[in-house]
Structure 1
């Protein structure tokens, strides 16, 4: 690897979770529909909204609430509220406890369908010897904690180094999560790097906060030099290194 591609002088590495450390098995919509089907399996069919009807009502509520940036609800609470409102709109009474258990089951199904990216524990173990590691994720905190626990990664990411949005306006690519992470880690932006699969959320968000980034993009076409080629570009004043698989990450750090 060219020396220029290495991330020298970094003391902290921040990671996205979904499609970066773990591979997604079920989308939120797939899990939502599946949980609703399980919940209503013993109900009289004519008394319950279909999966399509409930999903349409839920996502409409979610988009409305998401745009209302005055809300300070946790994302978990916001999802539960949208579910309750959607069901009430469709004439189905639902308790706060049922809405909470619905979303908890949805989260369990999503996490249960995920798998680790190849070599993830090996990579984190090596990096943890020389760098402080953190999570910066748009996923609800409860989901992140479930994933890290399921895959045995909590030792690399103590709770005080897990940064998730408490409201929609804080989600990446907004710089607030990145700045919170930098402050908690006690490092200036140029000593930290963000690793993620989303150009918009991870790369652009990190650059806005003054950080360099590593963009994990398995879909990029390999060059004549081979599929494992690492490339680099500039985004403003910051560096963005492109990798095709997570295993290439350890080659970037001395």
Structure 2
């Protein structure tokens, strides 16, 4: 790596979670279908709507609510409401406990299906000796905390250093979560850097809030175990560093 491609003067590192610290291997849709099949396993075929029918009802309502951006409900609550409306449209009885359990079971299956890239824990251990570490995620807070516990990396990210949105307008790439995290942890934008896999949400969002960013881009053949080059570019007034593997952070922050 070129000697000039190093991050200097940083005190806090913010991380995205999905596809950055952990790899997502089960989509919400696939989890929804699996939970529905388990939920209706003892129903007779005549009274059992297909997973496709229920999913179509659900996703139609989700897209309508998501576009409106008028709700301040948390993601879990909004998903439960869409599920309830979908089932009511199909004359399926639904209770508060059922809809909560349904969404929670999807979350559990998704978390169980996730994996952590090699050397992630070692990288976090190394970085934590010299930097404060925190999470900025668009995922529900409950899911993030569950993942940190499952992969035993919660010691690096105490709950007060986990920042998630309560309403759609606050999600990355909006600057709200970045500014909230900086204010809470009492750092300036120049003292912080954001690490994530999404150019739009993590990189552009961080730059808008005045932070430098590290883009974890695992696409293409250059993302293999022999990928060593770390590159640097400018995005507006901020710097963006491109890495292909998470363990390259150790070299970038050396």
Shift in Å, 1:222? 3.1
1:229 maps to 2:229:
yes
What is the SS of the residue equivalent to 1:83?
Answer: helix
Shift in Å, 1:159? 0.5
Counterpart in the other structure of 1:20: 20
What is the SS of the residue equivalent to 2:172?
Answer: coil
Cα deviation, 1:47-90, whole Å, max 9, x if unaligned, reads 23211111111111111111222211111111111111111111
Counterpart in the other structure of 1:191: 191
Runs of 4+ in 1 over 2 A off after TM superposition: 220-223
What is the SS of the residue equivalent to 1:3?
Answer: coil
Superposition pairs of residues 1-254 of structure 1, within 5 angstroms: 1-222=1-222, 227-254=227-254
Between the aligned partners of 2:4 and 2:191, the Cα distance in structure 1 is 16
What is the SS of the residue equivalent to 2:4?
Answer: helix
Shift in Å, 1:219? 1.0
Larger mean Cα displacement after TM superposition, 239-248 or 51-60: 51-60
Cα deviation, 1:120-178, whole Å, max 9, x if unaligned, reads 11011111111110001111111101100001011100111101111111111111111
Shift in Å, 1:2? 1.6
Between the aligned partners of 1:84 and 1:58, the Cα distance in structure 2 is 9
Contact 1:10 1:193 in 2 (8 A): yes
Shift in Å, 1:220? 4.0
Shift in Å, 1:93? 1.6
Cα deviation, 1:187-218, whole Å, max 9, x if unaligned, reads 11111000000001110110110001000011
Between the aligned partners of 2:233 and 2:220, the Cα distance in structure 1 is 14
Alignment: residue pair count: 252
Structure 1: stretches of 5+ with no match in the other structure: none
Contact 1:132 1:185 in 2 (8 A): no
Between the aligned partners of 2:155 and 2:215, the Cα distance in structure 1 is 24
Between the aligned partners of 2:16 and 2:165, the Cα distance in structure 1 is 13
TM-score after normalising by structure 2: 0.96
Shift in Å, 1:221? 4.9
Between the aligned partners of 1:46 and 1:160, the Cα distance in structure 2 is 50
